[in-house]
Amino acid sequence: MLKRYQIINEKIVESQEENSPVLVFVNPDEREKRFLIDQLKVDEHTLNSALDPDELSRLEFEANHTAAIFKFPKNYSGKNQLLFKSGTIGVFVFKDIIAVVLSEDVDIFLNGKQFLRVTSYYDIILKLLYKSIYHFLEHLKVFNMIADDLEQKISISMENRYLLNLFTLEKSVVYYLNAINSNGVFIEKLKNNAPKIGFNQDQLELLDDILVENNQCYRQAEICSNIFASLMDARASIVSNNLNVLMKSLNIITIAIMVPTLVVSIFSMNVKIPMQDFFHAFSVIMTIAVFSVLVFLILLRQVINKKY
């Protein structure tokens, strides 16, 4: 799917004009791929890399254009079951046009605040990078919120479902760490090639801000990953301890039931026993049974107090 945009009054606005300079290809079909390869002379391998979610970020200078590939977080879907993934975006800057290639339909220019003061095609790359970092940070905040909710459920749970959710969340953070680090390498390469690209002073200042933001984002993701990894065993122990407490309670109930059962069983044996002709024999037997349970609970409490 092809979307067209124009830069009007330093803003990116959607357009229906055939000669629009900003082209966004969302999951391009074969015809659109041939247009990029045959008409715009985009390298086929680079184009496929822009659609590969596992591709690392990189910057390449071709004869007639500059190719930039970097990572961004994919939109979360409920069917992913708390697995957050990162995707790849490709940006090809030519003299007269800029082509953006995405593997899924994402409105990359949705946040108008981040796409103000767009004066050149390289501004689009920088602002897309900035939006990607902002998106990563927002997802990390969501990770912390989900983790807090899972911790509360794990503290009273005796099943592995919430632990598996937490493990999936921890794996998502690792994926994000790799993507953010890959973007960091790409940003460094952009900065090193700034004179070759022709960045102006404002763009250089924005690039420095982007580098700082990406480093902070990486450190935050790293802290989040370390916390998840260090507390994973403790949370597993909580589930195991909850199960032990339940089994202990069940054992106490079982033993408490067995004591009066023993008393009643003795008096119900098919032999001659005391009080068999006594009118209040049933009440006496039930009293002895209840008394035996109370004695058992008192003795159990004394044993527990001595132990702890």
Q: Which of 143, 97, 139 is nearest to 120 (CA)?
A: 97
For residue range 217-246, list pLDDT tens digits in order. Answer: 999 998 888 877 776 666 666 666 667 776
- Segment among 2-11, 62-71, 83-92, 189-198 with least mean pLDDT: 2-11
Strand order in the sheet with 58-61: 11-15, 2-8, 22-26, 98-102, 86-93, 66-73, 58-61
**Residue 220 main-chain phi, psi, to 5 deg:** -65, -40
Q: Is 215's pLDDT higher than 90? A: yes
* pLDDT level of residue 308 (50, 70, 90 thresholds): very low
Instruction: For helices 281-307 and 201-267, give the axis angle rounded to 10 degrees.
Output: 140
**Helical H segments across the chain, by residue range:** 30-34, 44-50, 121-154, 161-192, 194-197, 201-267, 281-307
pLDDT tens by residue, 238-281: 666 667 776 777 777 777 777 777 776 766 666 566 666 666 77
Number of other CB atoms surrounding residue 208 within 10 Å: 12
Q: Could you tell me how far CA 102 lies from the centroid of its own chain? A: 21
Write down the pLDDT at residue 272: 63
Does pLDDT of 180 surpass 90?
Answer: yes
Residue of 43 and 277 predicted with greater confidence: 43
Classify residue 242 by burial, with Cβ atoms within 10 Å: 0-12, 13-18, 19+. Answer: middle
Report which secondary-structure segment, H or E, holds 55: none
| Residues 175, 222: Cα–Cα separation, whole Å | 11
Domains located in the chain, CATH noted: 2-242 (3.30.460.20), 243-307 (no CATH)
Q: What is the pLDDT of residue 257?
A: 76
Tell me: pLDDT of 163 over 90: no
How far apart are alpha carbons 156 and 131 in whole angstroms?
A: 39
Among 42, 3, 38, residue whose Cα is nearest residue 23: 3
Tokens of residue 261, six digits: 């059962």
Which tokens belong to 89?
A: 């975006």
Which residues are CB-contacts of 111 (< 8 A; sequence separation ≥ 6)? 131
Question: In whole numbers, what is the pLDDT of the chain averaged over residues?
Answer: 81
